[in-house]
Structure 1
Amino acid sequence: MAKNTVSRDEEGMLRSKTELTIRLLQYLKPYKLKAFIVIILLLFVMVCGIINPYLLKIAIDSYIGDSNFKGLMFIGALLLTLNILSMIASKIRIVMMSAITNNILVNIRHELYTHIQKLSFSFFDNRPVGKILARVMGDVNALQNLFNQSIQTLIPELMSLVCVSIMMLFLNFKLALAAIAILPFLAVAMFFIETQSRKRWEVYRKKRSNLNAYNHEDFSGIKVVQAFANEENTLSKFKVMVSELVNSFVAAVKLNDFFWPLVELSWGVGIVVVFYAGYLLVRSNDVTIGTLIAFSMYIGMFWRPIMNLSTFYNTLITNFSAADRIFDIMEIEPDIVSAEGSNKMPKIKGAVEFKDVTFAYEEGSAVLKDVNFKVSPGETVALVGGTGAGKTTIVSLLSRFYDPTSGEVLVDGKNIKNVELESYRSQMGIMLQDTFLFSTTIKENIRYGKLDATDEEVIAAAKAVNAHEFIMKMEKGYDTEVNERGSRLSLGQRQLISFARALLANPRILILDEATSNIDTQTEKLVQKGIEKLLFGRTSFVIAHRLSTIRDCDKIMVVGDGNIKECGTHDELIAMRGVYYNLYNAQYKFLNEGA
């Protein structure tokens, strides 16, 4: 898949209206009882509204002419009672519908968020974070009106339209035909508008996603922006994206705005036709005055659901693109999953083997080619080599962030593709060069390695990696809040906290991917004992360039040209005078060969 950028429109599937409607209505299933009650209440309100004109007809034709005061009082009391009950039912219905809609949105957002968490690294490699956030937040929110109106508009208004049509046919067949004569023309016009409108809303949501991604990227890198005094350039790009968003929105709204005038024009023409037909029928004594008055009220009740249904149809078109974007994500299958019937990984002893492993991020450009090596339990292995040699790829395969294109990765003799993913990764510990801290307390950041750890365990882990001293100098000690990504701490302090987090997790296999590269010399001396404790008793893979980390490892593997070029201890590789020897001299030329 081609990598998406902040300015590139996302590709997506355009599903049929029927498919999207059916899939969205599936989310109503857990609330079908409440939805049924809402529909009953809606029907009651609708029936009350439909009965009103008919009761008025009876009052005019039967009671006013006969001066039947008692009958008029009864009709008036009945109308008052029905309308009060209708108001109460309407209030209950609104409250219940709001609860149903909000719960559905929460469920969709949870489902989408859970699904995204299961997706493989390839998914995140190919999308800016801002575009993912746009789907989780903005696109899900866009469905609120859709669900509200699907129950409150679609079902009751359709039923209301049917019931009013029946009443109109019952009152006078000729007037009823005159009332619906304009509908075929309206349907054809709305179809042509809808065809283009949905495409325009799709473009709008793509432009909004681009802007969201650009803002996220720009604010995440605000220090770089300000350091290079690049505010004007970023503002210029921002204005271009906002302009594209505004233009796409205006284009979509312009077309959508034809819906209402079209329906209102049809309504007006329909009323003219009905009154002209009514005038002719009254003159020929085919209808009574009461029937014509009642029919005139039903005309409004006939066109009102058509107006509301057109609004619902408009909402569908506006938000179908949001539903498409959500389902685009939901239909992506993770590349890395637990194999069917896989068993849990037993407690790892730490034997690791790569057997004929080949891997390519993109077809045709292998990063690793037929890599073979074995590591015994408890060994500390250093991976060294130039940028892009494949060091991080090796540990990514070991962590099963990716699967080999061919070959096997074995841990304790088991192919890691055939064990339950969570049970395997829960025994791994990974520390990266770019240490990530959450915007919470130092204590909670350390506890992330073991969520049920006590305060005493957290402090013990911090002491073990020599982080306790600087933490206690903070204004609130372990309860000190760190900014997002730990920006208020130095790089070295963040690394020390990440060491404590890893130690608390007590992983069976530990990976340090250039984890000490951001630590100054003084801090590095402080953390060496902590690293020794971190590595003790567990299989460890270390990607680093500093002598203090590499030279004491049990085994050093030099990675280059997609393979393991050299393997041995520090002294053995120095004696070989090969690639490692040259790398060693280049980096540490101030030391003599026997250092």
Structure 2
Amino acid sequence: MTTGRRLIQYALSYKKIIIAALLMLTISVAADLAGPFIAKTIIDQHILGIESNWYETTKGKMAVNYHEKYYKREKYFSAGEQKGNHVRILQIGSKFVFIEQKIDFDGKRSFKNGLLTIKKGNEKAEYKAETIKGRELLAFYQPEIPGIFQLILIYFGLLVVSAFFQYGEKFFLQKSANRIIQKIREDVYGHIQRLPIQYFDNLPAGKVVARITNDTEAIRELYVTVLATFFTSAIYITGIYIALFILNVKLAAICLLLLPILYAWMLVYRKYASKYNRVIRSRNSDINAMVNESIQGMNIIQAFNRENHTQADFEKLNHEHFKFQNKLLSLNSLTSHNLVGILRNLVFVAFIWYFGGQSLTPSAVISLGMLYAFVDYVNRLFQPVQGIVNQLANLEQALVAGERVFKLMDEPGENVSTERIPRFKGNIKFDHVSFGYKEGEFVLKNISFEANHGEAVALVGHTGSGKSSIMNLLFRFYDCQKGKITIDGKDIESIPRQTIRNHMGIVLQDPYLFTGTIASNVSLDDPGISREKVEKALKDVGAEMVFKNLEKGYDEPVIEKGSTLSSGQRQLISFARALVFNPAILILDEATSSIDTETEALIQEAMDVLKKGRTTFIIAHRLSTIRNADQILVLDRGEIVEQGSHDDLMALKGKYYQMYQLQQGGEELAG
């Protein structure tokens, strides 16, 4: 499905609001476009209407007293009312003359020495006439004033109606746009929660953030500004063309040539703008990723004096972003306003050409009122055209941003399962398991072992030997390519990931804390975990002594990543977080590596109690912390090379013995 269709689908989720907005827009446009028609009526029927047919009558309503006789326009006579002598009032230049007879035809007029001459081709007619003075002329206009005021009031009322419905249209369109973007952001963020861990291994966090924030904001412009402008312009253009065809079919047909020209321009513009916008959005994402990475590693950058090198890398990305922004700016500058100006000039050239062969006299096909209305509508026509052209850049940005967002949403994920199963006993079996992060490159090879309920299993080995990979498989952050893993005899791949993790706890080497408080970082705001459980967990891991001197105790604020806390304090919070959920399987991944000796002693005391009733996996480089483990697995290059208790492995005098001897410096053996 194309990006455009998917964006339309989101819009259809709020079609009632959008339809209401479009109805309001239609009413607003209709009320606004009635203005030139009203102006045409005022000009033709009232201001220039003085030149229509007049008849002598008696004194009464709408009658005008002129030289002690009364005259009334033909349109104001009621049915059956007696009409007297036919008279005419004609304008010659700035003068108006009165003729006491009917004229045979109209044409080019001249007035001299009380004689009116009218010429039309080879025809010529002369009539006796007299000039009408100012006050007398005003008397002939007097009957028109109530009608003019009435039309002006109608026009003002229509402007009020147009303004009211225009406000409603903009309010509902903005409201629907904000809701659509809210839904897109929620869908994107929700989808991220369903993506497997390996997806984030290959995509920098900054790029993901850019798609959720910058790209969705660009899409918001599509709904708030672009589509609103397109809807408004489309209805305005439709209304204007209807009005033009009502006024004059031939001129309206000439103006129709604008539409294919505008469509062809949109195709050409999108061809180049789309290419530029893709590069711009991509570089923007790269900049976000680099900024995020630089902030995270600022201590390393400054410690190793890499500021200039990092600055140069950033400037390279920024320059490329700037270069394509300039290309897009040049494209917009050369075409948007220039295009509309050219089109406007072409239409007015056609307009002048059409009227060039005609005389703009009252007898011509086009009246002065119609001429005014047509010029007004043509000027109004270019306002929505200008709006459409000016929004093409935002349209392309939104479509490219939408394409990037939907590409993220198309990544295969799995729904978060709410299924719950009884707590595991914790009998775990790895049966000939092989696994690699890349296809064909195994980091675990034919791993087989069992961990029974209540046992503490330690994993040791050099960096890269596969210790953390075993835990990643157990947590189902990844799935093995060969063999199988069972818990209580059930293949873990047959159980939803979230269901398995509901009975597991983990403490990482580098614990991650969220913005909040110490207590909220322990409970993760789970409503099923009471304050008492949080405090008990912290007490069990020995945190009570560490945090008792804080001003707000366990309610002490924690900022991003817990940067104001020591590594030992962060680890204690992470430890309590794992324990408060009472997992059946507990994983400690280098959990004590960041803790000082005194704090480690506190944790070790608590662990002897807490390990009872659950299966515990311990990944450790400090071998002194795993001496009491029920089973120690020694890994080397993805294979288990030794397996047994501490005493068994020491007696074996193999790889574990060598590692332990190196760490202890031979002191224990010498003793």
TM-score of the alignment, normalized to the shorter chain, above 0.5: yes
Q: Does 2:361 match 1:297?
A: no
Match of 1:317 among 396, 407, 418: 396
Give the percent of matched residue pairs that are identical in Structure 1 and Structure 2: 35
**Higher helix proportion, which one?**
1
Q: Does 2:350 match 1:273?
A: yes
Q: CA offsets per residue over residues 291-321 of structure 1, 9 Å max, x none?
A: 1111111112222222222233332112211
Matches within 5 A, 1:463-502: 463-502=539-578
Partner amino acid for 1:315?
Answer: N
Distance 1:450 1:574 in 2: 44
Match for residue 7 of structure 1?
none
Q: CA offsets per residue over residues 315-366 of structure 1, 9 Å max, x none?
A: 21122111111001000012x6679xx9643321101111221111111211
**Higher strand proportion, which one?**
2
Distance 1:194 1:500 in 2: 56
Q: Does 2:341 match 1:264?
A: yes
Match for residue 115 of structure 2?
none
Structure 1 residues 149 and 110, CA gap change in structure 2 (3 angstroms): same
Match for residue 23 of structure 2?
40
Cα distance, 1:186 vs. partner?
Answer: 4.3
What SS does structure 2 have at the residue aligned with 1:365?
Answer: coil
Partner amino acid for 1:305?
Answer: P
Range with greater deviation from structure 2 (482-491 or 499-508): 482-491
Match for residue 612 of structure 2?
536
Cα distance, 1:177 vs. partner?
Answer: 2.6
Partner amino acid for 1:193?
Answer: Y
User: What is the total number of aligned residue pairs between the two structures?
Assistant: 575
Cα distance, 1:506 vs. partner?
Answer: 0.8
Partner amino acid for 1:71?
Answer: G
Alignment RMSD (CA, Å): 2.1
Q: Does 2:475 match 1:396?
A: no
Cα distance, 1:520 vs. partner?
Answer: 2.0
Match for residue 408 of structure 1?
484
Q: Does 2:279 match 1:203?
A: yes
Structure 1 residues 185 and 90, CA gap change in structure 2 (3 angstroms): closer
Match for residue 423 of structure 1?
499
Q: CA offsets per residue over residues 28-52 of structure 1, 9 Å max, x none?
A: 2332222111111100111012211
Range with greater deviation from structure 2 (375-384 or 574-583): 574-583
Distance 2:276 2:187 in 1: 28
Q: Tell me, yes or no, if the aligned pair for 1:344 and 1:420 is still in contact at 8 Å.
A: no
Partner amino acid for 1:39?
Answer: L
Q: Does 2:138 match 1:59?
A: no
Match for residue 412 of structure 2?
333
Distance 2:24 2:308 in 1: 57
Distance 1:566 1:226 in 2: 43
Distance 2:152 2:146 in 1: 10
Q: Tell me, yes or no, if the aligned pair for 1:450 and 1:505 is still in contact at 8 Å.
A: no
Match for residue 109 of structure 1?
185
Q: CA offsets per residue over residues 400-423 of structure 1, 9 Å max, x none?
A: 000111221111111111112222
Q: Tell me, yes or no, if the aligned pair for 2:586 and 2:614 is still in contact at 8 Å.
A: yes
TM-score, length of structure 1 as denominator length:
0.92
Q: Tell me, yes or no, if the aligned pair for 1:492 and 1:519 is still in contact at 8 Å.
A: yes
Match of 1:50 among 33, 37, 60: 33
Q: Tell me, yes or no, if the aligned pair for 2:29 and 2:239 is still in contact at 8 Å.
A: no
Structure 1 residues 281 and 165, CA gap change in structure 2 (3 angstroms): farther
Match for residue 350 of structure 1?
426
Structure 1 residues 286 and 477, CA gap change in structure 2 (3 angstroms): same
Q: CA offsets per residue over residues 509-533 of structure 1, 9 Å max, x none?
A: 1111111111122222222112223
Q: Tell me, yes or no, if the aligned pair for 2:337 and 2:386 is still in contact at 8 Å.
A: yes
Q: Does 2:644 match 1:568?
A: yes
Cα distance, 1:260 vs. partner?
Answer: 2.5
Distance 1:87 1:180 in 2: 28
What SS does structure 2 have at the residue aligned with 1:361?
Answer: coil
TM-score, length of structure 2 as denominator length:
0.82
Matches within 5 A, 1:44-443: 44-64=27-47, 65-66=49-50, 67=141, 68-149=144-225, 151-257=227-333, 258-282=335-359, 285-334=364-413, 344-443=420-519
Cα distance, 1:182 vs. partner?
Answer: 4.9
Distance 1:529 1:311 in 2: 70
Q: Which has the larger radius of gyration?
A: 2
Cα distance, 1:90 vs. partner?
Answer: 1.6
Structure 1 residues 259 and 53, CA gap change in structure 2 (3 angstroms): same
Q: CA offsets per residue over residues 492-549 of structure 1, 9 Å max, x none?
A: 1211121111111111111111111111222222221122233221011110022332
Structure 1 residues 163 and 282, CA gap change in structure 2 (3 angstroms): farther
Q: Tell me, yes or no, if the aligned pair for 2:586 and 2:616 is still in contact at 8 Å.
A: yes
Range with greater deviation from structure 2 (202-211 or 515-524): 515-524
Structure 1 residues 184 and 91, CA gap change in structure 2 (3 angstroms): closer
Partner amino acid for 1:37?
Answer: A
Cα distance, 1:276 vs. partner?
Answer: 2.7
Distance 2:517 2:313 in 1: 36
Range with greater deviation from structure 2 (518-527 or 225-234): 225-234
Q: Tell me, yes or no, if the aligned pair for 2:635 and 2:642 is still in contact at 8 Å.
A: yes
Distance 1:231 1:475 in 2: 37
Q: Tell me, yes or no, if the aligned pair for 2:226 and 2:394 is still in contact at 8 Å.
A: no
Cα distance, 1:23 vs. partner?
Answer: 0.9
Identify which of structures 1 and 2 has the higher relative contact order when contacts are C-alpha pairs closer than 8 Å and 6+ apart. Answer: 1
Structure 1 residues 200 and 36, CA gap change in structure 2 (3 angstroms): same
Q: Tell me, yes or no, if the aligned pair for 1:449 and 1:501 is still in contact at 8 Å.
A: no
Distance 2:234 2:565 in 1: 61
What SS does structure 1 have at the residue aligned with 2:607?
Answer: helix
Cα distance, 1:240 vs. partner?
Answer: 2.6
Distance 1:328 1:98 in 2: 26
Cα distance, 1:246 vs. partner?
Answer: 1.6
Distance 2:610 2:574 in 1: 11
Distance 1:390 1:97 in 2: 55
Partner amino acid for 2:424?
Answer: I
Q: Tell me, yes or no, if the aligned pair for 1:42 and 1:152 is still in contact at 8 Å.
A: no
What SS does structure 1 have at the residue aligned with 2:436?
Answer: strand
Partner amino acid for 1:262?
Answer: L
Distance 1:46 1:308 in 2: 15
Structure 1 residues 541 and 165, CA gap change in structure 2 (3 angstroms): same
Match for residue 3 of structure 1?
none
What SS does structure 2 have at the residue aligned with 1:507?
Answer: coil
Partner amino acid for 2:44?
Answer: D
Partner amino acid for 2:601?
Answer: K
Distance 2:147 2:415 in 1: 75
Partner amino acid for 1:93?
Answer: E
What SS does structure 1 have at the residue aligned with 2:633?
Answer: strand
Match for residue 7 of structure 2?
24
